[in-house]
């Protein structure tokens, strides 16, 4: 019997409601099924993220791996597509996958050596930039969610959201972000994006210094990838250095990259408003700093 972490059960209920509760209830049987199907032996305590159970295992030949079980949705269904495209080149390697459930068998990386533990934040930002430069060099496979569609939907939702922001300055910043996205939405790009490459989604391994995990892939412009590294271990005075360093490493046009970073900020603000939360000042401050830097 596998112990399901209480935090995973709580997050599934919070974000996925009845579907999340059903997923958690079925996890013991689902785990047992894939341990048997893929001839795996449990090799450690269960780990978890916000939405997935991660179980260290040994394969039949004794090699280490992890079994990842998560609720199948529009984000998770693209993960194996991206991992197959990268094929271990800059990202964790996919060893097996079950399309019906979304279950994945992945190579085991060193979860004790996470980029978030790197004491030099600038070094961490450069590692993320170098990974992104490589990962986004791949064309997006067919069938992935497209940034253009997501951005257009955000713009359609913006008037509704602006009416629900009481602070005039915050409302003006969100409107500015939307205006910037409107300028680039017709040219959303076609690169394979990770979308969630923050410093807890980069792990060390024996075969490479750092590898990306847990993509939520999109087809789009690499400028949409920069926000997590601006937000990690947030320092308002460091936002512009990080933005310049990343755009240099990725070879991005700064005006376009700034517009797509505003797009990411707009997305976060819309989520806050949908959930009845005030827009976070940290988000607004990133936009303030980038706007002043670009003027």
Enumerate the active-site residues: 196
Q: SS3 of 187, please?
A: coil
Question: Which residue in this structure is represented by tokens 């590898």?
Answer: 211
Q: Say which residues have a Cβ less than 8 Å from residue 18's Cβ, sequence separation at least 6.
A: none
| Residue 2 CB coordination number (10 Å) | 18
- Crossing angle of the two packed helices 239-250 and 121-135, in degrees rounded to 10: 30
What phi and psi, each to the nearest 5 degrees, are found at residue 99? Answer: -65, -30
Closest CA to 104 of 116, 91, 117, 115: 91
Integer Cα distance of 66 and 51 in angstroms: 15
Question: 108: buried, middle or exposed (CB in 10 Å: 19+, 13-18, 0-12)?
Answer: buried
Q: Say which residues have a Cβ less than 8 Å from residue 151's Cβ, sequence separation at least 6.
A: 181, 185, 188, 263
């Amino acid at each position: 019997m596998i112990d399901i972490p209480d935090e995973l059960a709580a997050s599934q209920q919070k974000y996925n409601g009845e579907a999340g509760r059903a997923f958690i209830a079925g996890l013991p049987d689902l785990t047992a099924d894939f341990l048997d199907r893929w001839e795996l032996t449990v090799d450690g305590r269960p780990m978890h993220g916000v939405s997935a159970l991660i179980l260290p295992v040994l394969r039949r030949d004794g090699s280490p791996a992890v079994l990842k079980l998560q609720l199948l949705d529009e984000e998770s269904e693209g993960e194996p597509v991206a991992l197959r495209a990268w094929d271990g080149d800059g990202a964790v390697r996919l060893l097996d996958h079950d399309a019906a459930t979304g279950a994945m068998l992945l190579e085991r990386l060193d979860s004790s050596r996470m980029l978030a533990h790197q004491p030099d934040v600038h070094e961490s930002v450069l590692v993320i930039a170098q990974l992104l430069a490589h990962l986004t060099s791949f064309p997006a496979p067919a069938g992935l969610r497209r940034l253009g569609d997501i951005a257009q939907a955000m713009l359609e939702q913006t008037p509704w959201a602006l009416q629900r922001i009481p602070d005039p300055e915050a409302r003006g910043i969100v409107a500015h972000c939307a205006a910037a996205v409107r300028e680039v939405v017709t040219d959303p790009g076609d690169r394979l994006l990770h979308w969630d490459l923050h410093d807890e989604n980069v792990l060390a391994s024996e075969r490479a210094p750092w590898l990306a995990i847990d993509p939520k892939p999109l087809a789009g412009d690499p400028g949409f990838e920069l926000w997590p590294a601006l937000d990690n271990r947030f320092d308002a005075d460091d936002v512009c250095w990080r933005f310049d360093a990343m755009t240099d490493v990725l070879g991005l046009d700064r005006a376009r990259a700034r517009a797509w970073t505003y797009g990411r900020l707009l997305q976060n603000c819309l989520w806050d408003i949908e959930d009845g939360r005030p827009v976070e000042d940290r988000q607004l401050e990133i936009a303030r700093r980038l706007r002043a830097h670009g003027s």
